[in-house]
């Protein structure tokens, strides 16, 4: 049973660039959530997708956007990168309306120079 | 809004010592409560959960009891091992609203277990 997968593992970008991170949910899950974890901090909720629509959003600027595909996989896009966007980006999957447990992928480490 | 407060780390223990990591929360309604563990360079793994008051979650020797009256969900283990060294996160998920949910995390507590 495949768990949550994310790609790439690591990424280095410069300020002002754009980045796309990818996530495939655990088998049987239809909901994807994205979190940002700064060094030494707890994860912060960015947004959640279900049925290809953004259902909830945390306190993040519009530079952060996402997409969910018909196969439930998801992308996180960040435009106009800032140094402060350097973090571990975590994807989590769950089943909408069935179970509130979220299962996390290994994360993508983004470094902005 | 919802919030989770964890005890500051790092916590350093000798192997076979008793572990307690305190966690308190603020939320409306009846949230579900979780403990996640993060090993160096990895994502988060679910350790245990509890969905209603007085429930006890347990896994791999770790336990936590959902205390509504004190809004707490303290993590305990009777005898820690070196392999338990990691960062532990307490989190809550509000009562389902339309089927979706989001997790609110504490800042994490680093545990170091020495021989």
Q: Which of B51, B37, B44, B47 is closest to B94 using CA atoms?
A: B51
pLDDT at B97: 58
pLDDT at A78: 98
Q: Does B99 touch chain A (CB under 8 A)?
A: yes
pLDDT at B8: 85
Is A48 within 8 Å of B100 when comparing Cβ atoms?
A: yes
Q: Which of B68, B112, B75, B69 is closest to B90 using CA atoms?
A: B75
More confident: B112 or B40: B112
Low-confidence residues of chain A, pLDDT below 50? Answer: none
pLDDT at B41: 82
Nearest neighbour of A45 by CB, restricted to B32, B102, B106: B102
Provide the pLDDT confidence category of residue B96 given band limits of 50, 70 and 90.
low
User: What percent of chain B is modeled with pLDDT above 70?
Assistant: 96
Q: Which residue of B has its CA nearest to A91?
A: B43
Residue A93's alpha-carbon distances to A30, A76, A83, A86, in angstroms, are: 7, 14, 28, 23
The answer, yes or no, to whether residue B4 has pLDDT greater than 60, is yes
Among B32, B43, B97, B110, the residue to mutate for chain A (most A Cβ within 10 A): B43
* pLDDT tens column, B34-68: 999 999 888 899 999 999 999 999 999 999 999 99
Could you please report the per-residue DSSP string of chain B?
--EEEE--S-EEEETT--EEE-EEEE-SS--EEEEEEE-TT--EEEEEEE-STT-EEEETTEEEE-BTTTTB--EEESS--GGG-EEEEEEEEPSPBTTB---EE---EEEEEE-
Q: Does B101 touch chain A (CB under 8 A)?
A: yes
pLDDT at B63: 98
Residues 9-68 (A) with a CB less than 8 A from some CB of B: 31, 33, 35, 40-45, 48, 50, 55-56, 58
Cis peptide upstream of residue A8 (ω within 30 degrees of 0): yes
* pLDDT tens column, B73-90: 999 999 999 999 999 999
């Amino acid at each position: 049973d495949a768990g949550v997968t994310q790609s790439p593992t690591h990424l280095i970008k410069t300020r002002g660039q754009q980045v796309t991170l990818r996530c495939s949910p655990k088998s049987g899950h239809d909901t994807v959530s994205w979190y940002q974890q700064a060094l030494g901090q707890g994860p912060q909720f960015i947004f959640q997708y279900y049925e290809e629509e953004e259902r909830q959003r945390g306190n993040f600027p519009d530079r952060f956007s996402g997409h969910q595909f018909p196969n439930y996989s998801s992308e996180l896009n960040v435009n106009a990168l800032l140094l402060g966007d350097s973090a571990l980006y975590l994807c989590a999957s769950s089943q909408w309306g069935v179970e509130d447990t979220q299962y996390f992928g290994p994360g993508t480490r983004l470094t902005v120079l | 809004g919802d919030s989770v407060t964890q005890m500051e780390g790092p916590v350093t223990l000798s192997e076979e010592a008793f572990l307690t990591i305190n966690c308190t929360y603020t939320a409306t309604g009846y949230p579900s409560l979780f403990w996640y563990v993060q090993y160096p360079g990895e994502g988060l793994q679910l350790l245990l959960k509890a969905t209603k008051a007085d429930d006890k979650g347990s896994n791999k020797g770790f336990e936590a009891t959902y205390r509504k009256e004190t809004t707490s969900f303290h993590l305990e283990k009777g005898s820690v091992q070196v392999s338990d060294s990691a960062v532990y996160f307490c989190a809550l998920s509000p009562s389902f609203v339309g089927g979706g949910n989001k997790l609110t995390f504490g800042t994490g507590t680093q545990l170091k277990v020495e021989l």
